[in-house]
C-alpha cells in the first residue's frame, strides 16, 4: 500500500481530514478514534467499501484506531452469516481487525445493559415515557414537514408509571407493537427527528449474540451515539442521510451520563449508475434467484466483486479517486471499471485461453522442428521481469479462436489482422504459420485448418516477402486445460434501475452472464489459484471462480474486458 499512501499524502486534505487536523492541533482531540458500524442484515456493498476505506483510512493516516462495530439492534433481520462476511470483507480490503494488541471489534448488543440503564435515567429525569399509541396513531400524531405534531395522550404519565410500564415491556408483558419508549423532546420541532423519537421497541425474537435475554431492543438513533461515547470515538462519520438525525444524536449525548463527547460528521454516500445498493433489493435478487448468491460476481457486494476478480487495491484506489465531499452525486460506474482495469493491467500475470476453439494442424511441424513439441518461453508480465516467465508447449496441433480465421481473402489487412486462407499470421511467442487448406463437417462448418510453419521464426522475423497479418493467441491441443468461462457484464442495462418509479427487476441485463463451455487454456493455468487474476491475452481479465471450480474442473470468471465497450453496446 506504499504507492497508495504516497498518493494520499500528496493530495489536498478532504474536509474531514481538515477537521481532524484542526482538532489535533487545537488539542480538542488527543488520539483519533473512528468507527465503521454496519448492521449485520446483509452483505457489504461498494458503498460500504467507501465508508470502510474512509474510516479505517483516517485512523491509519492519523495514527489512531478504527472500531468495527456490529449494529445488531434488530434481531429480526440479522444473522451470523452476515457478521462473518463483514469481517472477511473488511480484512480483505486490507484493514486488520481484532488483533490481540488492539481488539477493535465490538457489538451494539454488548452495551444493551448500559443502554437500558441510561433509558431508566431518562425516564427518572422526566425525559422519556412509554407510549401506547398504535403505529398508525403515532404517524398521525407526528405531524408533517409543514405541520407540527401533537402530544401523545401518554406523554404526561408519571415517572413511577413509566418505570413500571418500561419494566413490563422488558418482562415481555406486552405484545410487539403494543407500546414503545419515546424520548420527550418537542412535538412541534421543525426537525421531525426531535418529535419524541422512539428509543426502544418490543421484538420478541432471539438474538444471535444475547439469546433470549431481551425482548426489547434499542433503536439505532438511540444506540449509536452512546456506543460511540462508550468506545471513545472522537469523529463519528455518517452519510448525508443522517444529517437530520444529528440534533437527536447531540441531544442524547448531552442528556445522558456518557463517558465521552463524540461529534458526528456527514459525507456524501457513494451512488453508482447502473447499480442497485439497497440491501432490501439486493436480498430480493438473491431470494428470487436472479443471481446465485450474495457473492454472485454481478452483485455490487464486496464479496461478489472479490469473486469476480476485483482486487482490494483497485477498490481502495477507486474510493481514493472519487474523494470525500458533502455534495451528493452519482458516480459513473466506468470510474470503478477504470480503477479495476488499471490495477489489473499493471499487476495481473498473462496467460492464453481460447474461448471458441478451432483446431490448427501444422502439417510440417516435425519436419521443420525435428521434435514432436517445443517449449516456448513467455514473460508472466511484459513490463515486470521480476514476475518471471512461463513455459508453453508448442505442438503440431494447436487451438486458435474461431473468430481469428476466415476464408474471406477479400478482407483488407487493416480490417482483419488475423489468419486468412493462403496468408500468414504469427502465433504469440511462437512461429509464423500459413493457412493452406480447411476441413469441414457435414454441415459445412470448418473443423480443422491445415497450416504450414515458417521455419526459424520463433523470436525472429520471417524471410523477406512473408508478411504476417497480425499476432494471435493459441494453446497446444495436446497440452491444455479444459475449462468453462463465465463472461460477466453489468447486471443492469439501465443507468438508473431503481429511479423514477421503475421496477429495478425490469432493468436486468439479459446478457449479464454468458457461459462458454469447452474453452481451452494454456497448461500453466492448471496451477491457477483462487484470488489471482490473469490477463487472458486479447480477451480480458479473468480469475478462477471460488464457487464452481473444483479439483479437475476449472471455471474462470471474466473480471472485466481489456477495453470499455459498454458505450458501443448502448448505441447498438
For residue 52, how many C-alpha atoms fall within 13 Å in the half-sphere facing its CB? Answer: 26
Query: Please, where in the chain does CATH 2.40.240.10 lie?
Result: 272-351+481-572, 353-473
Confidence of residue 102 (pLDDT cuts 50, 70, 90): low
Could you count the other beta carbons within 10 Å of the beta carbon of residue 116? 16
From the candidates 127, 269, 402, 417, give the one annotated as an active-site residue. Answer: 269
The 10s digit of each residue's pLDDT in 510-523 is 999 999 999 999 99
Q: Buried (b) or exposed (e) across 303-328, using 16+ Cβ within 10 A?
A: bbbbbbbbbbbbbbbbbbebebeeee
The 10s digit of each residue's pLDDT in 125-177 is 999 999 999 999 999 999 999 999 999 999 999 999 999 999 999 999 999 99
Q: For 396-434, give the DSSP string.
A: SEEEEEGGGEES-TTS-TTT--SEEBT-EEEETTS-EEE
- Tell me the CATH architecture of domain 353-473: Beta Barrel (2.40)
> Is 467 noted as a catalytic residue in this protein?
no
Average pLDDT estimate for 352-379: 92
Confidence of residue 60 (pLDDT cuts 50, 70, 90): very high
Burial class of residue 541 in the structure, from the number of CB atoms within 10 Å of its CB (0-12 exposed, 13-18 middle, 19+ buried):
buried
Query: Please, where in the chain does CATH 3.90.800.10 lie?
Result: 113-220
Q: CA-to-CA distance for 69 and 212, rounded, in angstroms?
A: 21
Confidence of residue 101 (pLDDT cuts 50, 70, 90): low
Residue 112 has which C-alpha cell? Answer: 444493551
Average pLDDT estimate for 287-314: 97
Residue 39, annotated as binding a ligand: yes
User: What is residue 443's predicted lDDT score, i.e. its pLDDT?
Assistant: 95
The 10s digit of each residue's pLDDT in 407-457 is 999 999 999 999 999 999 999 999 999 999 999 999 999 999 999 999 999
Q: CA-to-CA distance for 359 and 449, rounded, in angstroms?
A: 6
Q: CA-to-CA distance for 532 and 277, rounded, in angstroms?
A: 26
Residue 46, annotated as binding a ligand: yes
Confidence of residue 96 (pLDDT cuts 50, 70, 90): confident
Residue 478 has pLDDT above 50, yes or no: yes
Residue 49, annotated as binding a ligand: yes
Confidence of residue 186 (pLDDT cuts 50, 70, 90): very high
> Is 279 noted as a catalytic residue in this protein?
yes
Q: Helix, strand, or coil here: 377?
A: strand
User: Residue 567: which of 507, 514, 490 has the closest Cα?
Assistant: 490
- Residue 34 — φ and ψ, nearest 5°? -115, 180
For residue 413, how many C-alpha atoms fall within 13 Å in the half-sphere facing its CB? Answer: 8
**pLDDT more than 90, % of the chain:** 91
User: What is residue 11's predicted lDDT score, i.e. its pLDDT?
Assistant: 78
Answer yes or no: CATH 2.40.240.10 is held by domain 272-351+481-572. Answer: yes
Residue 172, annotated as binding a ligand: no
Average pLDDT estimate for 257-274: 96
Residue 71, annotated as binding a ligand: yes
Could you count the other beta carbons within 10 Å of the beta carbon of residue 373? 15
User: Residue 242: which of 191, 189, 203, 199 has the closest Cα?
Assistant: 191
Confidence of residue 394 (pLDDT cuts 50, 70, 90): very high
User: Residue 251: which of 166, 329, 326, 194 has the closest Cα?
Assistant: 194
User: What is residue 369's predicted lDDT score, i.e. its pLDDT?
Assistant: 80
Residue 40, annotated as binding a ligand: yes
Contact (CB, 8 A) for 398 and 376: no
CA 490 to chain centre: 13
Q: CA-to-CA distance for 359 and 450, rounded, in angstroms?
A: 9
CATH of the domain spanning 113-220: 3.90.800.10
Report how far apart, in Å, the C-alpha atoms of 387 and of each of 107, 146, 384, 541 are.
Answer: 43, 65, 6, 17
Strand ranges (E), 441-493:
446-454, 471-472, 475-476, 480-488
What average pLDDT does the chain have? 94
Residue 298 has pLDDT above 60, yes or no: yes
**104 versus 488: which is more confidently predicted?**
488
From the candidates 4, 8, 39, 495, give the one annotated as an active-site residue. Answer: 39
Amino acid at each position: 500500500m506504499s504507492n497508495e499512501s504516497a498518493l494520499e499524502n500528496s493530495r489536498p486534505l478532504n474536509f474531514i481530514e481538515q477537521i481532524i487536523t484542526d482538532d489535533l492541533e487545537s488539542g480538542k482531540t488527543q488520539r483519533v478514534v473512528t468507527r465503521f458500524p454496519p448492521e449485520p442484515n446483509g452483505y457489504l456493498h461498494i458503498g460500504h467499501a467507501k465508508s470502510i476505506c474512509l474510516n479505517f483510512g483516517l485512523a491509519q493516516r492519523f495514527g489512531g484506531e478504527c472500531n468495527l462495530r456490529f449494529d445488531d439492534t434488530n434481531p429480526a433481520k440479522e444473522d451470523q452469516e452476515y457478521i462473518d462476511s463483514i469481517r472477511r470483507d473488511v480484512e480483505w480490503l486490507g484493514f486488520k481487525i481484532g488483533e490481540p494488541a488492539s481488539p477493535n471489534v465490538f457489538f451494539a448488543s454488548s452495551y444493551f445493559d448500559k443502554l437500558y440503564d441510561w433509558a431508566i435515567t431518562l425516564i427518572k429525569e422526566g425525559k422519556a415515557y412509554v407510549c401506547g399509541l398504535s403505529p398508525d396513531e403515532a404517524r398521525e400524531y407526528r405531524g408533517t414537514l409543514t405541520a407540527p405534531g401533537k402530544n401523545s395522550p401518554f406523554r404526561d404519565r408519571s415517572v413511577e408509571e413509566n418505570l413500571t410500564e418500561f419494566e413490563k415491556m422488558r418482562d415481555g408483558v406486552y405484545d410487539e407493537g403494543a407500546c414503545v419508549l419515546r424520548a420527550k423532546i418537542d412535538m412541534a420541532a421543525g426537525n421531525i427527528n426531535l418529535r419524541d423519537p422512539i428509543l426502544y421497541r418490543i421484538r420478541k425474537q432471539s438474538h444471535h449474540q444475547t439469546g433470549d435475554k431481551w425482548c426489547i431492543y434499542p433503536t439505532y438513533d438511540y444506540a449509536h451515539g452512546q456506543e460511540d461515547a462508550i468506545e471513545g470515538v472522537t469523529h463519528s462519520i455518517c452519510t448525508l442521510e443522517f444529517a437530520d438525525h444529528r440534533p437527536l444524536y447531540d441531544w442524547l449525548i448531552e442528556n445522558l451520563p456518557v463517558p465521552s463527547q463524540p461529534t458526528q460528521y456527514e459525507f456524501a454516500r457513494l451512488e453508482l449508475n447502473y447499480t442497485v445498493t439497497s440491501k432490501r433489493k439486493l436480498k430480493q435478487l438473491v431470494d428470487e434467484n436472479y443471481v446465485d448468491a450474495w457473492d454472485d460476481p454481478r452483485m455490487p457486494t464486496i464479496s461478489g466483486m472479490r469473486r469476480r476478480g476485483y482486487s482490494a487495491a483497485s477498490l481502495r484506489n477507486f474510493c481514493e479517486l472519487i474523494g470525500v465531499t458533502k455534495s451528493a452525486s452519482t458516480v459513473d460506474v466506468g470510474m470503478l471499471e477504470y480503477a479495476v482495469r488499471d490495477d489489473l493491467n499493471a499487476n495481473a500475470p498473462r496467460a492464453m485461453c481460447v474461448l471458441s476453439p478451432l483446431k490448427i494442424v501444422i502439417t510440417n511441424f516435425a519436419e521443420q522442428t525435428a521434435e514432436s513439441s517445443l517449449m516456448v518461453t513467455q514473460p508472466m508480465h511484459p513490463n515486470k521481469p521480476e514476475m518471471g516467465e512461463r513455459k508453453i508447449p508448442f505442438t503440431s496441433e494447436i487451438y486458435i479462436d474461431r473468430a481469428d480465421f476466415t476464408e474471406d481473402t477479400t478482407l483488407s489487412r487493416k480490417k482483419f489482422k488475423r489468419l486468412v486462407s493462403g496468408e500468414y499470421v504469427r502465433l504469440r511467442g511462437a512461429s509464423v504459420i500459413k493457412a493452406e487448406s480447411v476441413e469441414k463437417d457435414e454441415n459445412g462448418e470448418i473443423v480443422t485448418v491445415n497450416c504450414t510453419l515458417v521455419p526459424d521464426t520463433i523470436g525472429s522475423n520471417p524471410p523477406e516477402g512473408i508478411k504476417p497479418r497480425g499476432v494471435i493467441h493459441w494453446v497446444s491441443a495436446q497440452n491444455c486445460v479444459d475449462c468453462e468461462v463465465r463472461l460477466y457484464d453489468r447486471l443492469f442495462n439501465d443507468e438508473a434501475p431503481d429511479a423514477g418509479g421503475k421496477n429495478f427487476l425490469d432493468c436486468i441485463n439479459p446478457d449479464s452472464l454468458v457461459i462458454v463451455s469447452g474453452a481451452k487454456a494454456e497448461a500453466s493455468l492448471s496451477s491457477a489459484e483462487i484470488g489471482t487474476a490473469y490477463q487472458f491475452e486479447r480477451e480480458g481479465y479473468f480469475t478462477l471462480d471460488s464457487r464452481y471450480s473444483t479439483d479437475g474442473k476449472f471455471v474462470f470468471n471474466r473480471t472485466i474486458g481489456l477495453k470499455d465497450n459498454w458505450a458501443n453496446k448502448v448505441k447498438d
